[in-house]
Each structure stands twice: as structure tokens, then as C-alpha cells.
Amino acid sequence: MKSSIYILFIILGCACKKDDSLNVIPRDRLSDATVWTDPTTADVFLNDIYGKLPDGNNWWDPMDNWTDNSVCGYSWPESRNVIQQAAYTPSTLSFGLVPLDWRTNYANIRKCNVFIKSVTESELTDEYKTSRLAEARFLRAYFYHLLWMTYGGVPVVTDVLNSSEQGDAIFIARSSSDETLAFITSECEAVSADLPDAPAQTGRATKGAAWTLKGWCELFAGKFSESAATNKKIIDELGGAGVYSLFPDFGGFFMPENNNNKEAIFYRQYLPRVLAGRLDSYLGPTFTKGGAETSWGGMGPTQEMVDAYFMANGKSITDPGSGYDPQTPYANREKRFYQSIVYDGTWWYNDTIYTRQGMGSKNQIDLADKDDASNTGYYLRKRLNDKITLGADNWTPPGTSAQNYYYFRYAEVLLNYAEAQNEAVGPDASVYNAIDAIRGRADLPGLDPGLSQSQMRDAIRHERRVELAFEDKRYWDLIRWRTAHIVLNAPVHGIAITGTPGTFTYTPVEVPGGNKKFFENKNYLFPIPQYAIDQNPKLQGNQNPGY
Amino acid sequence: MALLLIFIFSATDSISQAGITVRGTVSDDKGLGLPNVSIVVKRTGKGVTTNSSGSFTIDVPDERSVLVFSYTGFTEQEIPVGKNRDFNVRLSGIETRLDSVVVVAYGTQRKSSLTASISSIKGSDIATQPVANISNSLAGRAAGIISVQATGEPGFDGSSILIRGISTTGNTQPLVVVDGVPRNYTQIDPNSIATISILKDAAAVAPYGMAGANGVILITTKHGKAGASTLSYSGYVGWQNPTKLTEFVNAYEYATMRNAANANVGAIPVYSDYDLQKFKDGSDPDGHPDHNVLKELTNRNTLLTSHNLSLSGGSDKIRYFAGLGYLKQEGMWGTASYNQYNLTANIDAQATNTTKVSLSLNGRVEDRNQSAVNTGFIFYQAFRTPATAPLTFSNGLWGSYIGRTAYGNLHHSGYAKTVGYTMLNQFSIEQQLPFIKGLSIKAAVSYDFNPFNPTNATNPGAAITSLGRVWSTPIPFYNVDTSSRPYTYTLAGNDGPAKPVFNEYYNQSQAFTYQGFINYNNQFGRHDIGLLVVLEARNTKSTVFGASRSNYSVSVPELNNGSSNATDISNYGYSAEAKQKSMLYRISYGFANKYLFETSGRYDGNYYFAPGKRYGFFPSFSLGWRLSEEDFIKNISWISNLKLRGSYGESGALAGSPFQYLSSYTLYGNAVIVNGTASQGLYENAEPNTSITWERAKKTDIGIEGVLWKGLLTFEADYFSEKRDNMLFAPNVIVPAEYGISLSQVNSGKMSNTGFEVTLGTNYSVTKDIRIGFSGNLTYAKNKLEKVFETSSTFDNPNRRRTGRPLNTLFGYRALGYFQESDDADGDGIIEPSEYGVSQPFGVLHPGDLKYEDTNKDGVITPEDEVPIGKAAVPQIMYGFSPSISYKGFDLAILFQGAAGRDFYLTATAAWPFVNGASATKENLDYWTPENPNARNPRLTPTPASNNTANSSWWVRKGNYLRIKTGELGYTVPVNISRKARIQAARIYISGQNLVTWSSIKNFDPEVSVSNGEYYPQQKVVTVGLNLNF
């Protein structure tokens, strides 16, 4: 017995000596050596970056709530308290779920830089490098364009920053807005050659995605001839070759059964109960059958938006010849209206949604801002799938909605082209062709011939608002048109419907919680967050004006 | 187990031996005979116990033998036999602490020769406390303990214990050691605990090296003593109620407030006069409900009961202690409960005259039950649901609010059951080496199953889960149609998955600890020498495995019964490992029991860090001077004991997480859908720091302790000071925000922590029957950030600078009160900057909004105007005092416990009405109106105005409190009566926990742990208990 104790001591004594005996290999981590030698593993790194693209079908307070298109049905989110009120400061800036945050985007940009650097230096095949590096550079350009639209010129980081090796070189000053744009567009152009027309796997970046991003950024910057050229290339080379075309059914385009169709250029995919969308019960009608709250009513379309839809004959409701009757405001409207808006009496999610007053409907326009019911008298229909069961099952992660979220679709390319071409050259036939293709899909007649450049501008903007409504595009349009300080300082309206069927009275009322503020002298750009300025001496003294 | 008991009983017959026979009696200091006192012949293990009148007879080998008299609650005495054959021994109560034995790191020492700062709590002090988690019994009981109980939820209600406050921004948890091995202690049956030692200064913690800097809690479990077997029962039945259930406004108040809020923003009223009337008169309970949501969801007087049976005894050859414990705790609702089963067996056998073998087994099973919807969410719903919402209908069905049903979440969501299986095993063998007097060696091997929560290895107090089963069902809810007569009730929605989901997971963790001891103690004349060397190696492995299925068509929760569709099936699993190797020593030298010197330390290695950075040396030195042994004091009769001591040393802390030295990537599931299928993702971890290593604490302690007037007053006071450097701190602010990744921690922060603690005690017998006692302790600790990473925006502004201030100091604007109507010069209802002179850029301002101080006088409120507005939530002062009195068989003891030097920041639902559609608290009724210009709360708005929710002094509450932590009144049945029932001793008592609380936080328990108040409140418990010794 004693000898065994001595032996134990000896063993313990020896074991304590060796440093290596404390080695533990963590099994939940991979090393450089593993990640960048195997294309499958490197792909998994790239997948993480794709996953960081905006998750627009999981926002309960989408970006159109920042605009005159819609108002959130509940009173607490960022749109109503921060953005709409222009109540943000460099130290309190918050976008809710919309991923425009400075730090988040730079984290994503670093991921791209790590991938680009490591794959470039790796011994992976040239074929792999060519295609995947192009994707990563496109994704980096995408994140930069979010920053650029939000903050203007930003520091352009293309290297993997390393404080121990690079010293003070890790502090990078802002590039100008033009320089930042030039980086985004040149990257898009450079990688487009290496990107496929159609993705080998749905959801990955394509040539069309790179060109669309480029053409959009050029349009955003007012570089119209460049934008027209870029968008024309998409129409001619990809549209003409049958890669892209308008999906015949505007409403159906957004439904899961039509995911990844030929109008889709760049999008995010969802898988029910795994990594799904939750937009149906975030944005759907608040109360459905049985009177229980099954959705949050996160987007109440405004009367201004409803009024923007054309009549079925293609005319604006303000046109004396349109046939619009304010006492039957929802009759004879264009198809997109019925495919986008839920109004009083619409059958939707197995129920008739009544927003009229006086019949005790819980969906009645919520003028007291009492609960989540729409404050406008309208609910969103576009992008929502009424085959889905609403309620907590849908809104609890991982959710159950399967439809794609579209960053870019072909209709936008046509609109981008028409606008750029009209500004650069004037309303030529190619402009008419582009807009009429969009109108044609909605069964509307073409635009009147002979419009002046300025009439065409109004027509394109009007068409664009309707076609791209509730797709998180409107805010950026108001910014680049420089009309935000006009549009966003005007009250928005909902509809108070009183009376009985046949004798309804429709009274536009100001939306409770819909009042907005936008200061022309500063709000066209968001402030650079204070933490970014505090941590980078080269940003000091270079805050955006007005903050 | 049964076999084991038989073995124990059969081994208890002592073997008689030839020699000298001595006899005597043992009595207490009142002269009453003490039964069951253990008398052991030193170094032989041979022993007997006194009979019922306190008499004993024992055979000893020769006149050099030494008799050791010990009895729980009394100071052990050693008496050489010499020529004496008849002993009349008086044992004195241990309360005098004249010279008790104190459990120290890797051993025991006499209190008199201790040079370290250690507090002790007796197991018997906490055994009868009605708490399921013994960490809740420590507050106020010993100097040096700062504790906060964060929740009262059964099975999850442990306190976080800090020893002497906080000295680091990293992990602050003390190391917990049970019977020599790092282990989870919180669910150990308090009845099997012998002592708890709190090791505080460097001299005490240095033997724990890299794990000791936050202090150490040492628990020893009970061992048997030679003597007749004692079978004991102790048990109690108690009733629990929340110390404070947050009060919300009723339906009428809520509706009135909503209308007032709407009026303030120019909106039409939410509720009509008819509605208001209905809410007020309650005549339409389903159409116009008035629910007290939190109260209706919770039960009163829920059960807490505990029963414990223990057997102890033994002979000189073998001694044993065995205990069986059961505890049941109901929750505030039927779906929450906690059951605990403990089984302990400690066996010590004298294998040969010089070899002692010990086996210790400590197993427990814990059942935790909750609703499938987690408790935090239930409280979120309960705080949210206003009184006007249909929580339940008069026919028993339940309604919803914003698509959620608080009642359904609780009662119809399925269940989450977690079972913890723990088995702590230790085998040790100790060998006296006769060729050198006083030298012994010992080896101990421990195998612990689930010693830690494997997913939370740095928090030994965390709940242990071995097996989890979560069954989440659809949660239907109902709606009332008030347009029909009578009302009709329809199934209206589902607040849960469309079909049941079942998730089952296994966590398993096992630790192997190997320890080898060399112990040498000897006396050369007046020189006492002690030497201890321990080698220790420890290896922990943990594995997690889980699987789930959804879309159950049958309601039988088994994995196999779920949908077999691939997207309805998922699983996960991972594993981890930890290694540690160390050598430690302690050398003590005493001269004439008067001058004491000790040094101890540890050479400690840990897998956390890069090769070459793994081993550290942590030494300590301490001195003691027993003034009372000096001639010039020895003659002062009222000083029984007086000692000065001081220590200095270093210890370490593993503050961060392991592997920060590695450049690595983490793989995770379901990163993105590509090509229609879910794909994994891989991301870069924080930039590595190859030179990362442990935090280093330099601790200084100076203490004085004494006993005056023969135990009438005992006192102990310590001043302590710690400097923590190499403090791990993520230096993220030194790189730009554009850097894109966080940095690993670096060893460059510095923090200090200084304070003092005082313990006082007294025991006084007024008459033979009346005895009064008092003990009290107070700890004050204040820390200071000496060096942290800050941006220039805070560092350069003396108001905002974090460096030089205590950790977690609250910063914000200084609220000056409200804008009043008189501030609105142009009477348009809006306070323009021109009217106030300072721009507050948080939206349009109205009278009734908060006004902030423009500290830098630049005319605009920006973060530059921030000032310190309050202290951290961890108290700087913690104290307890406990008066006690006994009269004949009656005893009464009350423990008052308090905390001070603490602030708490209330936000969201705890402070503001209507946050994200939530209800309002009763406190919110005091809101600003022109007629109530000095209200507690700003003007009402439908959603809290962002101006008023800015971080400001307005929402800081003083977190000081004083509570009756425990109170116990007992009655011991006179021996002559209990003996008739063949019971040696019987005591009945009533006891209580958290009985009364005084605090300026009114609507929450002062230990409220979450700033929005949405948590399971701490419980007040009243119990009736019984202790029996057979």
C-alpha cells in the first residue's frame, strides 16, 4: 500500500513538470491551417458573410415606415420615436433592426477582407479563387454602399487591419463621397467579369447583381449617364439573353412558390423553422378571425400611398379623366393596388378585415393609438403570404415564412434605367419602353407619348413609388431626389370610414404617430456615431454637417 | 447502501486492549454532564463516548497517552494522562472561539496559531435555514461576504457571493472547494455541512494560486466521531411568499392614465367615459376586465419542506457519517417546482495503527420544473399585460394581450424539466511515517460527475443540468365577442408552435482530481514547525448533446414520436476539456506559541494560456504576534486572547476565457440559406493575444483579534487592500470602430480594492437559565479603477472619467426636475431652447418633461454633460447582527442583515408607464400634471418620451436595505421528558427567512437584479421545524 502511494507521488511530480501536458485542443474552433486549405471550409466562411446581408423579412419596423408610404401600428419602435422625429444624435443613433449601423457594417467588411486576403494567399485552385473572390468583393461593395448611402464618404478599408503590425495605419480617414462611390462602382465592374450570369447556387452573387448595385449607386449619386449605361448593359446583355425578365404576376412574384424566378437579381432566401422569415405576423393585419391579435400591424400604408396607385385605366386619381370617385375609392383601381394594400372589407388571412369605424372591429382605424391596429385604416398585403398561419408560431424565431427578400429585382433595373436615361438624355423611346414594360405587367396602358423631360421625371418617380412600395426603397429615393425635407415634413393621413355600406363617408385624417420631421440642413446624411469618432482621431473634426 | 450500513455497524465494536484504565466525567461550563462526548486516545484513533450522565471509562496504552475530548459546539480539549486516573473535564462552548479548529487550505489549523484572515460559519448555524440553496444562507453571517440574491425562482435562486467586494472587471466569483476539491456547493444538503470557511487574505488563498484572487469558500462535510451511533432527524415545513410583488395600476387607473397620455399628445382618448365607468364599477368583468395580473398568476403560501436523516458514530477503528436529505420547493405557480435528494456517506477507517483510509460519497439528484415558456418571458408578459386585458374570463378560459397569453404561457405551454445528477467521490489514504515523528503522507483521488455546469465552467454556483427535456405545445387562447348576448367565447389564436416541439439534451461533465500530500508537524522545545507540500492535478471533461423534433402529431413527448421530416429534426453537440497542474506548500513556524510566521504559495499551471505562459508562482507571507502570551499582558486578567497579524502575498485569477492565445475560427449552424438549404457559417474569433496570462492580485491584510473577559467579548478586525494588475481587459477602444473585430483581452488593466471588516461577539449568562448573545459583522469594500481603456471623450472630461472611480459607477445626466408651465414663456405648450437657454436634443419638450443640467455650459445637452449619478449595484457595505437569547429550553435568535453604499438604476417597465405597450406600476400614478408639479414621474405620454428616458439621476434609487434575514425561536424539550420517548434530544422551532425588509425601493425587493424589474422575486419563508436525536 505504501509503495503505491510513493509511486503516485512520483507520477504526480513528473506530470507537473511538462508544460505540454496542459495542452488542450479546443474542438469548437478551427485554425487558419484548416480553413484556408479546403474549398468547402472556405465556402462556409463566405456563407457567414452572405448571412450578414440585410435580413429584410425579419424587420418589424421596415424602412418604408421612415417615409410617407407607411406608419408603424405600434408606438414604440425606432421609426416613430427616433427616425421620424429626427431625434437622433451622434451618440444616440439607432436604426432598430435596419442594419445601417457603422460598426456592424465594418465588421462585415472585415469578414470580406479576411476572406479576400486569405483566399488570395492560399493554395486553393485558381478557379475557386476567381469565382469566390469576385463574390466576396461584391459583398464588400454591397456593405460599403449601405454605409455610403447612410453616412456619405466613409473610410475605405480594403485590408485586414492589424494593430500590432500596422501601427497607426489602422486609423483611416474618410474618403470623399465620390471616392467611396468610385470604389464601389469600380469593384462591381471589376468583379462582374468573374461572376456568372446565373448563379450555380441560388442566392449567390451574379454579374447582374454587381451591375445592378453599380447602376443604382451611380443613380443615387446623380451620375445619370453612367447609370444609364450600366443599367442598359443589364437590360441588353442579361435581359436580352433571357437571364432576366419581368415575372408576369406582380403579386405572385413575392410568394414562396415563385422564389428565385427570372425577375430576381439578388435576394435572401429563407427556410421555414430553420432560418425563416417572420414578416407575415410582423407586418400583417393585427386582428384576424376570432378577434385575437395574430400580427403586429407593423406597416400601415398611408392614404398618400393609397392615392398613388393608378386607376385601372392607367390614370392618376388626380387626373380629372381618371373616373376616380372619392365615395368608392377602392373601385376600378390598378391591379397592384389590390395586390399591395388591404383596405376596409378585404378578405385576407381567412377573414374580412374591417377598418371602418362604428362596427366594433378591432381593426378599426386606431386613432387613439391604443394598440397595434393600423393607425391608417390600411394594412400591408404586398410581400405577405396569406397561406401562412399567423401568430406566435410565425413570429417566434426561427419563424415559418419562406418567401425571399429581394435586394434587387429586374423591375428596379428598368426603373433605374428609365430615370437615368431621362435625366441624361431625355424621354427617348428606351425610357418609354422600360416604364411601359412595368406598367404593362400591371395591365396599365403605356405612358402618354410626348412627355417633356420633367413630366417624364414625375411619371417615373410616381411609377417607381408604386412599383417598389414597401420594398425599403422609398427612403433612399427621397434622399437622392432631395425631396425628403418637403415630403417628410408634411403630415400623412389615414382614412376614417363612417356610415353604413352604401353610404360610407371616407374622411382622410392625420395619422396618430405619423407626424414627421426632417431637417434639410442635416438629415440628408446620418451622423457618424460618436464612438467611431472617439476611437479614430482621423475622423475627429469630420462629422457630417449639422450634428 | 444497505450493505454499506451493515458493514459500518458491524465494524463499530471496539477492540479492547491492555493498558491503563482511566475514568471521569465531562461537563459543560455550567457543570452539567455532557452525554456523547467523544474521547479519543491521540494518535491511536481508539475512543469511547460519555454516557448519559457524562461519565466515561477508557483504556489507554501508557501514561504518555493524550486524551482528546471533542463535542460538537464545544472547544476540543487535549489532556495528557500522566498520573491522573480520574478526570473531571469541563468543555466550554465554542462560541468563545478561544481556540477552535479552523479549516484552512489543504488542512486545518488552530485559530490561535492562524496568521491568515479567515471567517468561519458553523454548519449548525445554517442547517435549519429554510433555503434550498445554501448560498442564500451566507449573507450577514460572516465578515467579508458580500452577497446578492438575484432571483427567487426554485432551483435557480442562488446568491452571487463576493468576498470582500470586487477587485476586477473580469470574473469575480470566488473559488469554491468542497472537501478539498473545487466543486459546486450550492445544492449540498446543509445538514451534512460541518463548517464553511471564507478565506480572504493572501495568506489564506495563496495555496489556491491562479484560482484564489477572488477569495475561496471552503466547505467541509461532516465526518463521524468515535462513540455511540447517533441517529438524527431534522425537518421543517414552510410557506413561501414573495418579499414584494410589484404592484400595478388597476383597470380604471390604467384607462385614466392612457387617456391622460393621449391628451398630452393631442390624440383622442383611448377609452370612453362608458369604458371608464365599466372599469370602475366592475360590472362587465369579461368585456371590461380588471385584473391584478401578477397577483392572479401567482400562488400564495407555497410549500417549502425539507427532511433529513443522518447517522453518525463509530469506534477507534472506523467512523462514519451518513445522511439522507430531501427538499421540496414549490414555485409561485404550479408549473414551477424544485426537488432535491441528497445522499452523503463519509467513512474513515483506521486500516493500521498508522494508516487512515477515508471514503467520501456525496450524491444528489435535483429536479427542476418550469413552464416551457421561460420564466423571464412570463414576467415580461405579466409586466406587460395591463389590468384591462382579459387575463382570464369568468368561465375559466383565458384571453390574450398583443397576441400573447400570460396565463396560457404559464399553464398551457408544456414543460421544461431539467434533472441534475451529481456524484462527488473521494478516496484518500493517509500514512504516518513512524521513522520520522510528525511526518505523514496522504494521497487523495476524487472523481466528480457533473461538478460544474459544463456550459458555464467559470461559475461554480450555476445550476447543474444533466438531462433536460423541454416540451413546447401550442398555447391556445380565447377571445370574447361582446356584440352577442350572452357573450360568446371563441378560440382565437395560438401563442406557441403550431404543433408540439420536443427538445432533449444531455450535459455531462466529469472531473478527476489527484492530490498528494506531505505533512510534517513537530515541536522542538518552544519551536513549532509545520510543513505541507501538495501536488495536485486536475482534469475536467464535459460533453453536451441535444436533439429536437418539431411537428408532433401525437402528444407523447419522446424524440421518436416527432415528425420525421428532415427540417423538423435537429441536433447539436460539443465538448470541452480543462487541465490544471500545481504544486503548493505551506511552512509555518511558531515560537513559544507567541511569534508566528507562515509562508505559503503555489506553483500553478493552467491550460488557458499559450505554452510558456501557463505557469505562475503565487507566494504569500504572514506574521502573527500573540500579545496575550507576553508577560506584560498575560497578567491582565480581562484579556483572554489578543493577537496581531498581517499578511502579504499574491494570487491569481483566470478572468477571461480560455484559448484567447489562439488565432481561430468558430463554426456555427444555420448561418444562411444558400441554394434553398441551410448552411453552416464560420467566423473569425477575436484577434488573438499570444501573451495573455492570468490576473495578478497583490493582497495586504492587517488584523487584530481578541477575546476579552473570558469570552464575554470576542472581536476581530481587519484592514485589507488589494491591487489587481495584469487585469484582463478588452482594449477595443484603442482601435477604430472600423477595425471590424474585437480584440482579445490583454493583461493591462489595474484596479484596487480596499476596506475593512469587523466582527464582534458576546455571550453572557445572566443567570443559570438565561443566556444572551450577540454577534455582528460589517464589511466595507470600495474599489477603484486604476487603469482601464477609455476613449479621450470620457477620459479627458473629469466628470465622465471612468478611471479613478469605482467599477460600474452610474453615469448620466443630472436631472434638475421638470420643466414647469412657468418655463413656457409663450404659452404654446412647447419648451423652446430659447425659453430654457439650453437645447435638449431628445425631441420636442413640454412642461412635465425632465430638465437636465448643462454641466459644461455650452448650451446643448450632449454626452459631454454626463456626471456620475450613482454607485454600483453591488453594495459597498454589507453587515449583519444577530442578537440571541435563551431561557431554559427556549432559544431565540434573529439575524438582521443589511447592505449600504449601493444604488440601483430603474428603467423600462420598472420605471416608466406604457413601455412597448406594457402596463404601469402603482408608483407611476404619481405623474406630472400642472396641478402636481412635483410628481415622482414625468408627464404621461403613450410611449415614454425619449427625453425622459435618457440616462439620468432621476431614475437612480438608493439601494440600501436592512432586513430580518432569519429569525428562529426554538424550544428544546427537557432531557428527562425526551428520554422517556427514547429520544436523546428534541427541539422544535419556528423560523423565518427574509421576514421584514426596510428599503427605499418600494415596489421591488431591494435585491432586485434586473433594472426593468421583470424577474422572479425573492421569497419570504416561514417554517415550523423539528430536530430529533435518537
Residue B453: pLDDT band by 50, 70, 90 thresholds?
Answer: low
Q: Do A5 and B429 touch (CB under 8 A)?
A: yes
Once rounded to an integer, what is the mean pLDDT over residues B244-272? 95
Q: Is the pLDDT of residue B640 over 90?
A: no
Q: Which residue has the higher pLDDT, A279 or B228?
A: A279
Whole-angstrom Cα distance, residue B249 to residue B295?
Answer: 12
pLDDT mean over A84-91: 90
Residue B261 forms contact with A (CB below 8 Å): no
The model's pLDDT over B398-426, given as tens digits with 9 standing for 90+, comes to 999 998 999 999 999 999 999 999 999 99
pLDDT of residue B12: 39
Residue of B nearest to A49 (CA): B681
Cell numbers 371608464 correspond to what residue? Answer: B276
pLDDT average, residue stretch B270-297: 95
Three-state secondary structure readout of A363-406: CCCCCCCCCCCCCCCCEECCCCCCCCCCCHHHHCCCCCECCCEE
Give the whole-number percent of chain B exceeding pLDDT 70. Answer: 96
Banded pLDDT at B8 (limits 50, 70, 90): very low
Task: Looking at the complex, report in whole angstroms how far the Cα of residue B491 sits from the nearest Cα belonging to chain A.
Answer: 7
The share of chain A scoring above pLDDT 70, in percent, equals 97
Look at residue B28 and tell me whether its pLDDT is greater than 90.
Answer: no
B3 pLDDT band, cuts 50/70/90, is very low
Report how many Cβ contacts below 8 Å link chain A to chain B.
313
User: Which site among A11, A16, A394 would you substitute to test the B interface, given the most B Cβ atoms closer than 10 Å to its Cβ?
Assistant: A16
**How much is the pLDDT for A6?**
53
Does A169 lie at the interface with B, CB-CB under 8 angstroms? Answer: no
Cβ–Cβ contact A51 with B under 8 A: yes
Asked whether the predicted pLDDT for residue B1009 surpasses 90, the reply is no
pLDDT score of B834:
87
Q: What are the strands, taking DSSP E only, across A412-463?
A: none
Q: What is the mean pLDDT of residues A164-179?
A: 95
Give the mean pLDDT of B109-122. Answer: 91
Interface check B792 vs A, CB under 8 A: yes
Could you tell me if residue A280 is left (phi over 0), alpha (psi between -120 and 50 degrees) or otherwise beta? alpha
Coil vs helix vs strand at B514: strand
DSSP state of A225: H
d(CA B550, CA B559): 9
Q: Can you tell me the distance from the alpha carbon of B212 to that of B308, in angstroms, rounded to the nearest whole number?
A: 33
CA angle B318, B323, B329 (to 5 degrees): 170
Task: Please report residues of B whose CB lies closer than 8 A to that of A111.
Answer: 683-684, 740
Q: Report the relative pairing of strands B810-812 and B867-870 from DSSP bridges.
A: antiparallel
- The pLDDT assigned to B4 comes to 41
Q: Which residue has the higher pLDDT, B600 or B157?
A: B600
Contact yes or no for A47 and B680 at CB 8 A: yes
A404 touches chain B (CB under 8 A): no
Q: Do B614 and A360 touch (CB under 8 A)?
A: no
The pLDDT-based confidence of B459 (bands split at 50, 70, 90) is low
Phi, psi of B906, deg, nearest 5 = -95, 135
Identify the sign of the CA torsion B923, B929, B935, B940: positive
Q: What is the pLDDT of residue A360?
A: 87
- B171 vs B681 pLDDT, higher one: B681
Q: Which of residues 311-370 of B touch A (CB under 8 A)?
A: 351, 355
ipTM value, please give it: 0.92
What confidence tier does B160 reach under pLDDT thresholds 50, 70, 90?
A: confident
Please list every residue in chain A whose beta carbon sits closer than 8 Å to the beta carbon of residue B576: 26-28
Low-confidence winner among B65-79, B536-550, B829-843 (lowest mean pLDDT): B65-79
Nearest to A268 by CA among B671, B570, B740, B681: B671
A469 band by pLDDT with thresholds 50, 70 and 90: very high
Q: Report the distance separating Cα B639 and Cα B715, nearest Å.
A: 12
Q: What pTM was estimated for this model as a whole?
A: 0.88
Query: Does residue B14 have a pLDDT over 80?
Result: no
Nearest residue to B600 (alpha-carbon basis) of B625, B626, B623: B623
Q: CA B397, CA B1020: separation in Å to the nearest integer?
A: 31
Cis peptide bond upstream of A398, omega within 30: yes
Mind telling me how many Å the CA of B555 is from chain A's nearest CA? 18
Instruction: Give yes or no for residue A15 having a pLDDT over 70.
Output: no
CB atoms within 10 A of CB B645: 24
Query: If contacts are CB pairs under 8 Å, which of residues 421-440 in chain A contact chain B?
Result: none
A 52-81 residues with CB < 8 A to B = 74-76, 80-81
Contact residues on chain A for B267, CB-CB shorter than 8 A:
367-369, 512
Judge: B268–A368 Cβ closer than 8 Å, yes or no.
Answer: yes
Output the CA–CA distances (angstroms, integers) from residue B63 to A19, B21, B67, B81, in the order listed: 53, 10, 11, 5
Mean pLDDT of chain B: 90
pLDDT tens-digit map of B907-934: 999 999 999 889 999 999 999 999 999 9
Which of A241-245, A496-500, B460-464, B715-719 has the least mean pLDDT? B460-464
Q: What value does the mean pLDDT of chain A take?
A: 94
Closest alpha carbon within chain B to A81 = B946
Q: Are B85 and B19 in contact (CB under 8 A)?
A: no
Q: How far apart are CA B313 and CA B320, in angstroms?
A: 6
| Cell numbers at B569, concatenated | 429534426
> Which positions in chain B touch A512 (Cβ < 8 Å)?
265, 267-268
> Beta-strand (E) ranges in A410-491?
none
Q: Which of B665, B687, B689, B793 has the most A C-beta neighbours within 10 Å, making it the best mutation to test the interface with A?
A: B665
Phi, psi of B495 (to 5 degrees): -105, 55
Contact between chains at B736 and A532 (C-beta distance less than 8 A): yes
Cβ–Cβ below 8 Å for B672 and A50: yes
Contacts of B844 in chain A (CB under 8 A): 85
The pLDDT confidence band at residue B812, using thresholds 50, 70 and 90, is: very high
Interchain proximity A102–B737, CB inside 8 Å:
yes
Residues of A in contact with B614 (CB under 8 A): 19, 22
Contact assessment for residue B720 and residue B756, using Cβ atoms and an 8 Å cutoff: yes
Task: Verify whether the Cβ–Cβ distance B355 to A1 is below 8 Å.
Answer: yes
Residue to substitute from A10, A35, A75, interface B, most B β-carbons within 10 A? A75
Of A267-281, B91-105, B262-276, minimum mean pLDDT range = B91-105
Closest CA to B483 of B286, B289, B291, B290: B286
A-chain residues near B685 (CB < 8 A) = 29
Cβ(B796)–Cβ(B787) below 8 Å? no
pLDDT at A322: 95
Q: Please say if the pLDDT value at position B686 is more than 60.
A: yes
Cell of B28: 459543560
What's the gap in Å between the CA of A495 and the closest CA on chain B? 15
B488 touches A: beta carbon within 8 Å: no
Of B481, B740, B917, the CB nearest to A110: B740
Supply the DSSP string of B300-319, one letter for each residue. Answer: SSEEEEEEEEEEEEE-SSEE
pLDDT for A426: 96
> For residues B340 and B363, is the Cβ–Cβ distance under 8 A?
no
Own/partner pairs, A436-443, CB within 8 angstroms, 24+ separation: A437/A246, A438/A246, A438/A411, A438/A414, A438/A463, A438/A467, A439/A314, A439/A463, A441/A246, A441/A247, A441/A248, A441/A250, A441/A411, A442/A250, A442/A310, A442/A334, A442/A335, A442/A336, A442/A467, A443/A312, A443/A334, A443/A335
All three cell numbers of B54, joined, read 457524562
CA distances from B285 to A54, B727, B937 (A): 46, 60, 30
Amino acid in the structure at residue B49 = T
Instruction: Report pLDDT for B732.
Output: 86
Give how far B841 is from chain A: nearest CA, Å: 7
Residues of chain A neighbouring B491 (CB-CB closer than 8 A): 290
Question: d(Cα A543, Cα A102) in Å, to the nearest integer?
Answer: 13
Q: Which amino acid is at A80?
A: R
pLDDT at B900 over 70: yes
Residue A256: how many CA atoms within 13 Å on its side-chain side? 19
Chain B, 1001 to 1020: residues with Cβ < 8 Å from chain A are none
Confidence of residue B31 (pLDDT cuts 50, 70, 90): low
Asked if the Cβ–Cβ distance from A273 to B492 is below 8 Å, we say no
Give yes or no for a contact between B579 and A13, defined as CB atoms under 8 angstroms apart: no
Assess whether pLDDT exceeds 70 at residue B706: yes
